Structure 1
Amino acid sequence: MSTATADRVQLVDPREAYAKPPFNDQQAMKMPGSSEKMQPQPNHGEESYEGSGKLKGLTALITGADSGIGRAIAICYAREGANIAINYLSEDADAKRTAEIAEESDVNVSVVRGDLREESFCNELVEQTREEHGAIDILINNAAYQETADDVDEFSTELFDRIFKTNVYAPFWLSRAVMKHLPPGGSIINTVSIQGYDPSPYLLPYSSSKSAML
């Protein structure tokens, strides 16, 4: 056997690598929900992502980092060597688990609970991150809120306001607050979804917020 063949990476069939339907029925969770209660458990790269030090020593503030895309980002950045500030709304168990996984990469991790719909909290979050980590090099505006409905009349003004405050106002407030602290080469990253490009009627306020972000 040649050396090239011996060193070949073992490919995995992606069609067979992860959980597949049908899944067991699950009781609907009260919004915003907890990934700790989901079955099967989502894959955030806990076992598969390997870093290479691309962000060594930098500090990243990630909103909505307790679960989902936010947890995947936190794991990725920690394994790339970045110190992590985890912001979340109310899912304590999820946030604790994300922090535990990130800390396995021997980086500094802080966890800050708070509602991004409050402008004052957004400002405090940026300052607290700087105080605890000494700097802030990357802001990732990931947190978002959505609810579905069958008819437009089911979307209340209160719900519309909650979605826009979380998905549009907060990224603006955070970006404005962090701009004065970012060093040359620092980054602000906004995550959006397909709803910004191909909106679904049953997610009208959410789709509108994602279009506004674009």
Structure 2
Amino acid sequence: MTNFPPQHQDHEPGREHDMTPRPDYEPRFPGSGRLQGKAAIVTGGDSGIGRATAVLFAREGADVAIVYLEEDRDAEETKAAIEKEGRKALLIRGDVRSKAFCREAVDKAADAFGKLDILVNNAAHQEEAEDLRDITEAQLAKTFETNIYGYFYMTQAALDHLQPGSAIVNVTSVNSYKGNDTLIDYSSTKGAITAFTRSMASNLVDKGIRVNGVAPGPIWTPFIPMSMDPEKVANFGSQVPMKRAGQPNEVASALLFLASEDGSYFTGQVMHPNGGAIVGA
């Protein structure tokens, strides 16, 4: 049963180092070389699902570039964790809402590692609103520009580097399938990401590039204390059949599967680490 202390963070984006308890991001098993020699870029890689994915990719042999907005302390912690796994880490600070920045970030990663094999689109923004009329133009723009424009921009840039055998993994959400009455704009972007994933999978299949998605349910990340009331945080995750929130390292394994040759017969698909909620495929 989930039982988090009530907490709230006023600064956006949230800070993983200020969370109580800290999320579990460490890989749970020894590596087996599933990404040996690969180069990856992970947006929102400083914390949460992005951090867990970046460190797991490193354990499996990949060098990893982390794109993050401004959370320097969290990003440095993630960099140290990647390097502890014996791999190269590159921190790239900036806003995925900018097409020019996305181009710069992808080119920096490809130059640093000599290639790019894996793109993980994960950076996101969410704000709660009880009434649709409370969603301002500024909030709507920020949510769409971060959550879907950023995915477009990063993918556009990455296509100049990805080769046959490469993989793109997009992080969507359970809310893409079931909706969320206080995250209407966020849920709308996640639905767009699901459609984008399927469309790009079809577009790139003849080029040998696989495109898949992961749709997490309630996961204990900086999103939660940053965007929710403290009382909601205390009961976060209790609504799913498992009666608890998931941890980032319980999602990262799904991204690893889709990014590696384990997922070689998967494209246009979405995996659902969500604590047992049954949603449409």
TM band (smaller chain): 0.7 to 0.9
Q: What is the distance in 2 between the residues matched to 1:199 and 1:25?
A: 25
1:127 aligned to 2:107? Answer: yes
Contact 1:88–1:114 (Cα < 8 Å) also in 2: yes
User: In the alignment, what sits opposite 1:38?
Assistant: 19
What does 1:61-100 correspond to in 2, within 5 Å?
Answer: 61-100=41-80
User: In the alignment, what sits opposite 1:193?
Assistant: 173
Q: Once the 2 structures are TM-superposed, how far is the Cα of residue 28 of structure 1 from its aligned partner?
A: 3.0
Q: What is the distance in 2 between the residues matched to 1:143 and 1:50?
A: 27
Q: What is the distance in 2 between the residues matched to 1:110 and 1:27?
A: 30
Q: Once the 2 structures are TM-superposed, how far is the Cα of residue 75 of structure 1 from its aligned partner?
A: 1.1
Contact 1:49–1:76 (Cα < 8 Å) also in 2: no
Q: What is the distance in 2 between the residues matched to 1:24 and 1:194?
A: 24
User: In the alignment, what sits opposite 1:148?
Assistant: 128
SS at match of 1:112: strand
User: In the alignment, what sits opposite 1:60?
Assistant: 40
Report the AA paired with residue 100 of structure 1.
A
Q: What is the distance in 2 between the residues matched to 1:168 and 1:27?
A: 26
Q: What is the distance in 1 between the residues matched to 2:154 and 2:29?
A: 28
Q: Once the 2 structures are TM-superposed, how far is the Cα of residue 50 of structure 1 from its aligned partner?
A: 2.3
Q: Once the 2 structures are TM-superposed, how far is the Cα of residue 37 of structure 1 from its aligned partner?
A: 0.2
SS at match of 2:183: helix
State the percentage of identical aligned residues: 40
Choose between structure 1 and 2 for higher RCO, CA contacts under 8 A separated by at least 6 residues: 2
Q: What is the distance in 1 between the residues matched to 2:114 and 2:26?
A: 28
Q: What is the distance in 1 between the residues matched to 2:34 and 2:192?
A: 31
1:163 aligned to 2:149? Answer: no
Q: Runs of 4 or more off by more than 3 Å in structure 1?
A: none
Q: What is the distance in 2 between the residues matched to 1:123 and 1:186?
A: 18
Unaligned runs of 5+ in 2: 195-281
Q: What is the distance in 2 between the residues matched to 1:199 and 1:24?
A: 26
Q: Once the 2 structures are TM-superposed, how far is the Cα of residue 166 of structure 1 from its aligned partner?
A: 0.7
Q: What is the distance in 2 between the residues matched to 1:161 and 1:198?
A: 22
Instruction: Report how many residues are paired.
Output: 194
Partner residue of 2:162 out of 174, 178, 182: 182
| CA displacement, residues 154-205 of structure 1 (integer Å, 9 cap, x when unaligned) | 1101111001111111111111111121121011111111010011120010
Unaligned runs of 5+ in 1: 1-14
User: In the alignment, what sits opposite 1:207?
Assistant: 187
SS at match of 1:197: helix
CA RMSD of aligned residues (A): 1.2
Report the AA paired with residue 44 of structure 1.
Y
Normalising to structure 1: TM-score of the pair?
Answer: 0.87
Q: What is the distance in 1 between the residues matched to 2:178 and 2:191?
A: 9
Normalising to structure 2: TM-score of the pair?
Answer: 0.67
Q: What is the distance in 1 between the residues matched to 2:57 and 2:161?
A: 20
Q: Once the 2 structures are TM-superposed, how far is the Cα of residue 210 of structure 1 from its aligned partner?
A: 0.5
Report the AA paired with residue 137 of structure 1.
D
Q: What is the distance in 2 between the residues matched to 1:213 and 1:68?
A: 19
Partner residue of 1:115 out of 95, 102, 105: 95
SS at match of 1:201: coil
| CA displacement, residues 101-134 of structure 1 (integer Å, 9 cap, x when unaligned) | 1111111110011000111001111111111111
SS at match of 1:145: coil
1:172 aligned to 2:144? Answer: no
